[in-house]
Amino acid sequence: MGTESTTSLWTNEFVPQLAPLDRNESADVCVIGAGISGLTTAYLLTANGQRVIVLDADAIGGGETSRTTAHLSNVSDDRFQTLERIHGEKGSRLFAESHAAAIDRIESIVQEERIDCDFQRVDGYLFQPEAEPLTAFLEAELEAAKRAGHIDASFLQSPSDVGFAIGSCVRFPNQAQFHPLKYLSGLVRALRVLGASVHAHSRVQHVQGGENAYVQTKAGYRVTCKHIVVATNAPFNNRYVLHTKQASYRSYAIALKIPAGRIKGALYWDTLDPYHYVRLQRLEKDKGYEEFLIVGGEDHRTGQEKDPADRFERLEAWARQRFPMAEGVANRWSGQIVEPVDGVAFIGRNPMDDDNVFVATGDSGMGMTHGTIAGMLLTDLIEGRENPWTDLYDPARKSLRSLVEFTKENLNSAVQYFDWVTAGDVDALEKIEPGRGAVVRSGLHKLAIYRDPEGGYHQCSAVCPHLGGIVAWNEVENSWDCPCHGSRFAADGTVINGPAATDLPKTAERELLQEAQVAT
Ligand SMILES: Cc1cc2nc3c(=O)[nH]c(=O)nc-3n(C[C@H](O)[C@H](O)[C@H](O)COP(=O)(O)OP(=O)(O)OC[C@H]3O[C@@H](n4cnc5c(N)ncnc54)[C@H](O)[C@@H]3O)c2cc1C
Ligand code: FES
C-alpha cells in the first residue's frame, strides 16, 4: 500500500502488485501513475491497440485513489453557479455532460470487463445545513444545474425517505458509487490480458518529449515512446505554470459502522465551503456483510493546519449530530485534493512542452470522473481525434473570470515563504516527542527533524526542492507537507506527492544537526 499512516476503508488486497521495471523498454505510450487517471488512460489506449507501459512510483492504486470516498457524480462540487460565471453556460453544460459520460464509461467498462466492484446507480442530494436557511441559494443552484443539462433535478423540502433530517435539498438522479480499488484491480487485470505492462515501485524522475521521447526512472531505466502521459495527480514535470492555477488541500474522511437499511443509499453533499460529503458502503467483513457510513470534509490547504487531528473530531461531531444511529468509527484517513482555481481539471497537452507530453491534474473532489474523462480525452488527443471537451479542460487555458480565485490562492502560497524568517517549531530538540517531527532553525538553515519512536533523531533540510517552501510536520500522516504547492515527503524525507520530483535534501547531515543542538 502507500506511505500514509492512516488507513482508508478500502483495502488494497484486490490490486495485483507488479514487479518494478528492470530493463529499458519501448512503447507507443508511457503512462506515469497507476491511479484511476493513469489506469483508465492506459486501458482505453490499449483497448484501441496501442502498446502501453504504465509506471508507478509506489504500489499500484496506492495514491489518492485509495483514499477517495468514490462518489461518481456529474454535479459540480464548486456549484454550477460558479462554473457558469467562469466558463459560461456552454462550459457548465460541457462539464455536466463530460462527467455524465465518465459515469457511463465506468459502467460500460464494469460490464465489459465483468468487474465486481459494487457499482451502483444512486441519487445525489445537495442540502443546506439546518442552521443556515439558504433556500434561495439552492433554488438558484437548481436553475443553474438545469441550464447545465440536469433537467431531472428537483427541489425537495425535507424528504421523508432518506432516513435523516436533511431539510431543503436538490435531488440529482442518476449519480453512482463503487469500490475504487476493486475497480482499479479490474482495470489492471484487463490491461494485462490486453498485453499492456504495468510496473509498481518504478519512480520516474525525468520526462523528455519531442521526436526522441523517453521517460527515465530513478533506478536508471528508460522507456522510449511516441507519447507520454503524466497522471501523477500533481505533475512533477511542470514546475510553474500549472501550480499557479491550482492549490493542494487535505481532506478528511471517517467510516462509521451503521445499522443496515436506516439511511437511503445515496450521495449527500452540504452547501458549506468546504462542504461535507456522505455515502454508504456495504462490505464483507469477518462476521458477514456490514454497512458503513462514509463521511468526508473539513478540508484545509496542505501544510497549513497546526492541529490536523482535530479535523477528525469535528467531522465525527458533524456526523453524529445528523446520524445519531451511527455506531463506532472503523476507519479515519486523510488525503490530498488538487483544486483548480476555476473548478475544472487540467487535462491535455502539458503547457510549454513538446506536443507529445500530456498531463491530467486539478481533479478537485471529483477525481473519479475527472480521471475517467482524462482517459477518454487523452485517448482522443493521442489518436488525433477531435473531442468537444478539449478547450474546457485545456491545461493552457486562462480565464480572467477566475482572477479572484487565482489571486487568492497565489497570495496564500506567497505568504508561506515568510516561514523562512520565522523561528522553528521548538526551541530544543528534546521537546520533539518520539514519533513526531518538528522544524528547527539552525543559523541560516531550517531543518526537518524527525524523532523516531526509540528517540533517535533523523534530519534533512526543511526546504522543499520544488520552489523552496518550508515544510511542516503532518502528525496525522507522519509526513512533511509543503504549504506552498502541496508537495509531501515521508518522515525520512522521501518524496510522496509532487510537484517536487526529488526527496528533501540530506546535505551535511552531521554538521547541521550539531548546529541545531548548539542553537537550541
Ligand atoms: C478524502 C478524499 C475523498 C475524495 N472523494 C472523492 C469522491 O467522492 N469522488 C471523486 O470523484 N473524487 C474524490 N476524491 C478525489 C479523488 O480521489 C482523486 O482526485 C483521484 O483519486 C486522483 O486520481 P489520480 O489517478 O489522478 O491520482 P492517484 O490515485 O494519486 O495516482 C497517481 C499515482 O502516481 C504515482 N506517482 C506519483 N509520482 C510519480 C512518479 N514520479 N513516477 C511514477 N509514479 C508516480 C503515485 O504513486 C500514484 O499511485 C477524494 C479525494 C480524497 C483525498
Ligand atoms: S511544493 Fe512548491 S515549494 Fe514546495
pLDDT tens for each residue of the chain, 520 residues long = 456 789 999 976 778 879 999 999 999 999 999 999 999 999 999 999 999 999 999 999 999 999 999 999 999 999 999 999 999 999 999 999 999 999 999 999 999 999 999 999 999 999 987 655 567 889 999 999 999 999 999 999 889 999 999 989 999 999 999 999 999 999 999 999 999 999 999 999 999 999 999 999 999 999 999 999 999 999 988 777 787 888 899 999 999 999 999 999 999 999 988 899 999 999 987 778 899 999 999 999 988 887 888 999 999 999 999 999 999 999 999 999 999 989 999 999 999 999 999 999 999 999 999 999 999 999 999 999 999 999 999 999 986 666 666 666 655 665 555 555 555 667 777 788 888 888 888 777 888 989 888 888 888 999 999 988 999 999 898 999 999 899 999 999 999 988 998 999 986 554 455 554 444 3
Spatial separation of the C-alpha atoms in residues 106 and 373, rounded to whole Å: 10
pLDDT of residue 439: 87
Instruction: Please give the distance, rounded to the nearest whole angstrom, from the Cα atom of residue 456 to the centre of ligand 1.
Output: 33
Q: Whose CA is closest to 268, among 335, 363, 177?
A: 177
Within a domain: 296: no
Q: Do 395 and 463 belong together in one domain?
A: no
Q: Which of 366, 382, 409 marks a domain boundary?
A: 409
Amino acid at 241: V
Within a domain: 37: yes
What are φ and ψ of residue 143, in 5° steps?
-65, -45
Q: Is 283 helix (H, G, I), strand (E, B) or coil?
A: strand
- The residue whose C-alpha atom lies closest to atom 4 belonging to ligand 1 is 68
Instruction: Please give the distance, rounded to the nearest whole angstrom, from the Cα atom of residue 60 to the centre of ligand 1.
Output: 11
Residue from 485, 488, 495, 502 to probe ligand 2 pocket by mutation (most atoms less than 8 Å from CB): 485
Amino acid at 57: A
pLDDT of residue 233: 95
Spatial separation of the C-alpha atoms in residues 202 and 199, rounded to whole Å: 6
Q: Do 349 and 227 belong together in one domain?
A: yes
C-alpha cell at 323: 446520524
Q: Do 47 and 194 belong together in one domain?
A: yes
Q: Whose CA is closest to 206, among 194, 193, 219?
A: 219
Within a domain: 259: no
Is the Cβ–Cβ distance between 501 and 465 less than 8 Å?
A: yes
Q: Do 492 and 378 belong together in one domain?
A: no
Q: For residue 42, give Cα distances in angstroms to 27, 188, 198, 230, 419.
A: 12, 9, 9, 11, 41
Q: For residue 154, give Cα distances in angstroms to 140, 159, 283, 298, 488.
A: 12, 12, 31, 27, 42
Is the Cβ–Cβ distance between 429 and 520 less than 8 Å?
A: yes
pLDDT of residue 285: 78
pLDDT of residue 517: 47
Q: Do 508 and 435 belong together in one domain?
A: yes
Within a domain: 206: yes
Atom nearest to 8 CA in ligand 1: 1
Q: Which of 365, 386, 409 marks a domain boundary?
A: 409
Number of domains in the chain: 2
Range of the domain at 60: 12-68+181-244+343-409
Within a domain: 392: yes
Ligand minimally distant from the alpha carbon of residue 501? 1
37 contact partners, CB below 8 Å, separation of at least 6: 231, 233, 360, 363, 367, 370, 371, 374, 375
Give the Cβ contact number of residue 357 at 10 Å.
Answer: 22
Instruction: Please give the distance, rounded to the nearest whole angstrom, from the Cα atom of residue 250 to the centre of ligand 2.
Output: 15
What are φ and ψ of residue 76, in 5° steps?
-60, 130
Q: Whose CA is closest to 274, among 314, 329, 234?
A: 314
Atom nearest to 482 CA in ligand 2: 4
CA dihedral 260, 261, 267, 270 (to 10 degrees): -90
Within a domain: 27: yes
- The residue whose C-alpha atom lies closest to atom 2 belonging to ligand 2 is 485
pLDDT of residue 1: 43
pTM passes above 0.85: yes
Within a domain: 444: yes
Q: Which of 354, 388, 409 marks a domain boundary?
A: 409
Q: Whose CA is closest to 71, among 269, 255, 291?
A: 269
Instruction: Please give the distance, rounded to the nearest whole angstrom, from the Cα atom of residue 65 to the centre of ligand 1.
Output: 4
